[in-house]
């Protein structure tokens, strides 16, 4: 089982990303951190295999953590400037995911990472062919596991449900979509399916102006 430390300044986003990780076979979340200082502490205390790392942290840039982490790193951040990307990759990050991203997008990287780890789990001495094959595993699954825009997956359905349940208050489809990292239309489809099964209660939210919108809350009567 590969152990992952999730680092993000927003606790809700960290929870969503932790849910993404936990939904992939062979991975477990060993901890979450919302600051660079806490990330450093947990990286030593928990000794994770992989860190899912944001750039924008309240006390320091996540990029400053890279040289100090004795773990592999996948960046998960809204930072899209070329300087950040080059710095992250130059300091050893294996992947760079731009937020918001889907569960499937992260799962593809995790699957590739797991294969990469297995490929390097053999003898200490590697041939060039073995090394090349291990590096290819990091990107090989991406095309095969890329999400289908119009389809539905159990992973996303579970994350939509978990996001709404953990919110504790009614949420609109747009709010759920932002938290999970999917489109509003996709969130609407999953929420409608949950409502049909009686797991979500639907009501109308009236604002000061404009048309009312549907809001969804987790039903305590769910099985």
User: Does 223 score more than 70 pLDDT?
Assistant: no
User: Does 220 score more than 60 pLDDT?
Assistant: yes
> Model confidence at 149, in pLDDT bands (50, 70, 90)?
very low
What mean pLDDT comes out for the span 127-137?
A: 87
Domain 154-218 in CATH 3.30.70.260? The answer is: no
What mean pLDDT comes out for the span 116-135?
A: 85
Give me the residue spans of the domains in the chain.
2-144, 154-218
Distance CA 102, CA 106 (A): 7
**Chain mean pLDDT for the chain:** 85
Distance CA 173, CA 180 (A): 11
Share of the chain above pLDDT 90, in %: 39
**Per-residue pLDDT tens over the stretch 39-94:** 999 999 999 999 999 999 999 999 999 999 999 999 999 999 999 999 999 999 99
Residue 11, Cβ density class (10 Å: 0-12 exposed, 13-18 middle, ≥19 buried): exposed
Distance CA 168, CA 3 (A): 28
Equal fold, 2-144 vs 154-218: no
CATH of domain 2-144: 3.40.50.2300
Coil, strand or helix: which one is 52?
Answer: strand
Distance CA 195, CA 182 (A): 18
Instruction: Give start and end residues of each alpha helix (H) in 35-102.
Output: 36-46, 82-90
């Amino acid at each position: 089982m590969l152990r992952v430390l999730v680092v993000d300044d927003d606790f809700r986003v960290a929870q969503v990303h932790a849910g993404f990780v936990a939904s992939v076979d062979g991975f477990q979340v060993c901890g979450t951190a919302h600051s660079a200082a806490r990330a450093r502490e947990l990286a030593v205390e928990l000794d994770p295999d992989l860190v899912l790392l944001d750039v924008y942290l309240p006390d320091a840039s996540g990029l400053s953590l890279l040289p100090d982490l004795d773990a592999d790193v996948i960046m998960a951040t809204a930072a899209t400037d070329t300087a950040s990307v080059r710095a992250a990759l130059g300091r050893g990050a294996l992947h760079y995911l731009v937020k918001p991203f889907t569960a499937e997008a992260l799962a593809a990287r995790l699957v590739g990472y797991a294969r990469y780890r297995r490929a390097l789990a053999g003898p200490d001495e590697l041939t060039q062919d073995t090394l090349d094959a291990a590096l290819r595993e990091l990107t090989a699954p991406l095309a095969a596991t890329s999400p289908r825009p119009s389809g539905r997956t159990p992973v996303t359905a579970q994350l939509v449900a978990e996001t709404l349940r953990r919110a504790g208050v009614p949420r609109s489809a747009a709010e759920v979509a932002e938290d999970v990292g999917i489109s509003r239309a996709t969130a609407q489809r999953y929420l409608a399916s949950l409502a049909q099964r009686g797991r979500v209660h639907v009501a109308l939210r009236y604002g000061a102006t404009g048309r009312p919108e549907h809001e969804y809350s987790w039903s305590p009567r769910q099985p």
